[in-house]
A and B are shown apart, each in its own frame.
Chain A
């Protein structure tokens, strides 16, 4: 049973457009949510994290969290060809007395067309 779901894509957007990446999670105990970018053959790099419902903006990136709908999204404004990568969504649970458990989605491949 997948706990974090993402559309595998590829999602193709023209350069300069807004790319919208979506993610749903099944564990209501999830408290923290992360977006990572992974270029082919490289390890993931953190883009943003979000804990609270609503929007969080950082430069061209906006993360959105809706805990009631168990939905997380990442918007990339003014998409650039260098944004072409696989984007991983992750949800973290920190049970009392236990260690943190982070579950990753399978990733959405984004292609920004020049």
Chain B
């Protein structure tokens, strides 16, 4: 149980385009989902907390107009990187909160912006 999927797993796009990443909890409902970014050999960096039916809460320094988060249902949250630039290239990982504060991670999405 507690499976989280992400789609796509890998995306390459041109600078200036927008990219949408989906995060789904497959066998449980998640009121809260989280979006992280991880650069090579660096730790996870929490970008925002996504709550179903309400606005996302962004961490300090994360541009909410650039990283749009929508938590449309108890099993789906999306992250849209708008007007992507090469410095946005990273590994984006979502997690969904299961019981007892436990976070279950998706497999991640590797974004490359040319």
Contact = CB atoms under 8 A, between A and B. Distances in A.
Interface residues of B, number: 21
B57 to A, nearest CB: 7
A34 B103 contact: yes
B104 interface: yes
A68 to B, nearest CB: 21
A43 B93 CA distance: 7
Interface in A38-68: 41-46, 49, 51
Interface residues of A, number: 24
B51 A102 contact: no
A105 B46 CA distance: 12
B43 A42 contact: no
Interface in A56-109: 88, 90, 92, 94, 99-102, 104-107
Nearest to B50: A99
B67 interface: no
Contact of A102 (B34, B57, B107, B108): B34
Contact of A42 (B46, B97, B103, B107): B107
B49 A99 contact: yes
Nearest to B45: A104
A26 interface: no
Contact of A104 (B43, B104, B106): B43
Contact of B43 (A88, A92, A94): A88
A42 B108 contact: yes
Interface string B98-111: 00111111111000
A104 B44 CA distance: 7
B102 A106 contact: no
Interface of A: 31-32, 34, 36, 41-46, 49, 51, 88, 90, 92, 94, 99-102, 104-107
